[in-house]
Every structure is written in C-alpha cells, then in structure tokens.
Structure 1
Amino acid sequence: MGMAMDRTGMKITAALLALAAAGSAGAALAQARDPAYAAARAAGQVGEQPDGYLGVVGNASADVRKMVSDINLQRKKAYTTQAQAEGGTVEQRGFVTGCNLIARTTPGEKYMDPAGAWQTRGAGAPVRDPKCI
C-alpha cells in the first residue's frame, strides 16, 4: 500500500505542479482524484479549507486521515514551488488556491467557511473569505 500511495502522491504532485503553473490547481486536483479520495469527498469525510489544504470532517478512519495528510504534503510542495517562482509566500499561494478550490466545490461537498465551521455546499455559491476574488 505504501508503494501505491507513493505513486499516487507522485501523480498528484506532477498534476498540481503542471496545472498550478498555469494557475489551475483545482483542475489538477480534479484530474488527480483517486477512487478513495473521490469516495471520501462524496461521503463528506473530507472538505476544502480556506488555507488551501484538505481537512478531515468529523471522525474519519485512519486511512482517510493518512490520505488527507499525504494530499496536503503534495499541496504544500506545489504551493512552495509556485510561491518561490512568483516571489510570494506559501501561505498566500495556499489562500488563493483555497479560495478557488472552495468556489469549485459542487453541491453536497464539504468546505470550511471563514469562521472555521464545516458547511455542505448547496445549490448557491459557497461562503468564502471576503478577500477571495
């Protein structure tokens, strides 16, 4: 399983780096989703956070927590690479990406609102930080 997760992580990193450079980390994540990630997202076990990282919603299994940790490591690497290239900070890159990823959630998916509470996306736009453009 470790080897498969490493390969998945490498695929996520490659997709994130390629599309983050084009300004579309959300599209990279959509393409990089594996079945376990898609299932956890559909079940409401994970959600997007304003800081650009994936979060665990409620009491998820150890496997889901590990998957979230692995994805977040890959995201941080992508944010670091992009921040270095643009002269910004990792936190700024994460925030901008978080704004975009929350905007791209679909009805039924979880996301964290600016107050730090988990929300389920409805038919309307998600509640995002006012600094999001």
Structure 2
Amino acid sequence: MEQTLKKLVAVILLAAGLAVSAAPVLAASPLVENAKNNCVVGEQADGYLGVVTGADASEALRREVRDINQQRKAAYANLARRNGVTIEVTAALTAEKLMNQAGPGQCVRLESGEWVKR
C-alpha cells in the first residue's frame, strides 16, 4: 500500500512538473512545426512524434522526427528515474498534454492507432 501511494505521489509530482522539465526537448524545429501544421507529422499517444500514415514526409523530416524522439526518450528516462516511475508512464503523461495542445488542423494518433485531425 505504501509503495502504491509513493508511486501515485510521484506520478502527480511528475505531471505537475513535466511541462517545465521537458520543455527544451519537446520544442520542435520549424521543419517539424510546419509538418505538424500540415498534418504530416503528429503527436502520438505514446509520447513520441510520428509520421501520419500516407503522408509525404521527406527524409530530412523523418530524420528530424527520429532525433526529437531520441531526445524525448532520454528526457523521459531521466524524469522517470527521478520520480520512481517507468518511462512509459512519463511518456504517456507527456503525450496527454501534447495531444491536448494540438492546434486546429494538426493530427494526433490515438491509442487505437487511428490518426485524427483536430
């Protein structure tokens, strides 16, 4: 019971401080921001960026998405370690925030795998 309570408190603290702690990693380049605005790239329920199914993404854009996702994974690992939770919990909390912040015309990928345009 005490272990569960500790994890719950860690998750709450993680959620509260996540936006500030991970902000530099979550920032995207103009290339990625443009792709997000054109529904070529979108936020996914797993906390990572993805190329929208059927979208025409250049190799440079795909490389940028991979780089951002690697940076996110490192940030998630660091936050998870500090808060005593898994990387997946950290990524999921971040994903929820990022998906909720998606603007009109941007796409997000739901847990079901379906891409939805906002």
TM-score, structure 2 normalization? 0.76
Unaligned runs of 5+ in 2: 1-14
Cα 1:25/1:41, change in 2 over 3 Å: farther
Shift, 1:41, TM fit:
1.1
1:116 corresponds to: 113
Query: Using CA pairs below 8 Å that are at least 6 residues apart, which structure has the higher relative contact order?
Result: 2
Give the percent of matched residue pairs that are identical in Structure 1 and Structure 2.
40
- Calculate the aligned-residue CA RMSD, in Å: 2.4
Q: Compare CA radii of gyration and give the structure with the larger one.
A: 2
Bigger share in helix: 2
Alpha carbons 2:36, 2:106 under 8 Å: kept: yes
Per-residue deviation, residues 45-77 of structure 1 (Å, max 9, x unmatched) = 100000000001133111111011000000001
- Segments of 4+ moved more than 3 angstroms: none
Is 2:72 the counterpart of 1:55? Answer: no
Amino acid aligned to 1:43? N
Cα 1:54/1:82, change in 2 over 3 Å: same
2:67 corresponds to: 70
Shift, 1:26, TM fit:
9.6
